[in-house]
């Protein structure tokens, strides 16, 4: 019991560090880049209910979403969010199975101590043909490999155990999901902010602001990745049987009484 409580404290501390990092200047650049890459995906997903599991400052992730009733899932209350919130244990959502049209995991697999349980719980709530979007840190990116060589203000929020996109695709395949697309973003992060700010500002004036975000979105060396998966299980609608009972189709045999001579 003491070990479980210690895991909850460590997980909460990670979420708080992630929230504070997103409010910083370099965190805002990271978040805006993710939103620009995520908006084309959200504009093609329709439905009624969606759940977003994030650290706190990611409330702007759904600004282009077409889902009518979104809500956030978090282990603690998000004070600066205007969207409905659900505060619960991330490994046990109080949500009915196969009831959400869209589920977004925004860096939460790196924040929790048991990512397998969180992924299994998130996939449980997705409806048939629903979408699961996972945003994570790419461990094979130049930015992640050079963490301890960068200035502190340009580092990530914590020493996170990043999970590769290839491993996540294996997990999702075992859970019955079909991988639709994997894209990578922020290939030049944070070097465009450190050294090439004037060059990128000049490119943005000529309509080339997405140079490092979209031209190389297929190269698996971006600072983060976005996985779009859909549930392959088809829904079943119970129908009333149109067959009549077999006993009504046959008449009762006629019994001939004995004759007296």
The answer to whether residue 256 sits within a structural domain is no
Per-residue pLDDT of 220-251, as tens digits, reads 788 899 999 998 765 566 666 665 555 555 55
Count how many domains the chain has: 1
Three-class SS state of 230: strand
The answer to whether residue 257 sits within a structural domain is no
pLDDT top residue among 72 and 144: 72
The answer to whether residue 260 sits within a structural domain is no
Expressed as residue numbers, the domain containing 244 is 2-248
Mean pLDDT of the region 174-197:
77
What is the per-residue burial (b if ≥16 Cβ within 10 Å, else e) of 138-175? bbebebbeeeeeeeeebbbbeebebbebeebbebbeeb
The answer to whether residue 259 sits within a structural domain is no
The answer to whether residue 255 sits within a structural domain is no
What is the pLDDT at residue 248? 55
What is the pLDDT at residue 158? 67
Rounded to the nearest angstrom, the gap between the alpha carbon of residue 95 and the centroid of all alpha carbons in its chain is: 16
Per-residue pLDDT of 26-65, as tens digits, reads 888 888 888 888 888 888 888 889 998 887 666 678 778 8
The answer to whether residue 174 sits within a structural domain is yes
The answer to whether residue 7 sits within a structural domain is yes
Q: What is the CATH number of the domain that holds 233?
A: 3.40.50.150
pLDDT top residue among 111 and 253: 111
pLDDT top residue among 83 and 142: 142
What is the spatial distance between Cα 99 and Cα 216, in angstroms, rounded to a whole number?
35
pLDDT band at 203 (very low <50, low <70, confident <90, very high): very low
Quick one: which of 114, 7, 116, 118 has its CA closest to 53?
Answer: 118
What is the pLDDT at residue 2? 41
The answer to whether residue 253 sits within a structural domain is no
What is the pLDDT at residue 156? 72
What is the pLDDT at residue 182? 92
What is the pLDDT at residue 227? 94
pLDDT top residue among 130 and 60: 130
Quick one: which of 247, 12, 226 has its CA closest to 107?
Answer: 226
């Amino acid at each position: 019991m003491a070990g479980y409580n210690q895991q909850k404290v460590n997980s909460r501390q990670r979420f708080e560090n992630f929230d504070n990092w997103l409010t910083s200047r370099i965190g805002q650049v990271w978040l805006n880049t993710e939103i620009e890459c995520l908006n084309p995906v959200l504009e093609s997903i329709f439905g009624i209910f969606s759940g977003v599991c994030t650290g706190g400052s990611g409330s702007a992730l759904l600004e282009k979403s077409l889902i009518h009733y979104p809500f956030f899932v978090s282990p603690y209350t998000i004070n600066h969010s205007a969207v409905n919130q659900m505060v619960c244990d991330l490994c046990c959502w109080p949500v009915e199975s196969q009831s959400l049209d869209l589920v977004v995991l925004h860096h939460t697999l790196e924040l929790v101590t048991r990512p397998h349980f969180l992924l299994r719980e998130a996939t449980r709530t997705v409806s048939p043909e629903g979408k699961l979007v996972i945003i994570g840190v790419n461990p094979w990116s130049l930015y992640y490999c050079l963490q301890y060589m960068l200035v502190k203000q340009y580092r990530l929020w914590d020493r996170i155990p990043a999970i590769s996109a290839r491993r996540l695709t294996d997990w999702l395949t075992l859970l019955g999901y079909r991988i639709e697309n994997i894209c990578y973003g922020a290939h030049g992060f944070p070097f465009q902010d450190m050294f090439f700010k004037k060059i990128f500002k000049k490119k943005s004036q000529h309509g080339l602001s997405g140079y490092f975000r979209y031209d190389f979105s297929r190269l698996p060396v971006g600072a983060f990745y976005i996985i779009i998966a859909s549930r392959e299980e088809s829904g079943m609608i119970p129908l009333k049987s149109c067959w009549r009972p077999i006993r009504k189709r046959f008449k009762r045999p006629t019994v001939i009484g004995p004759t007296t001579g």
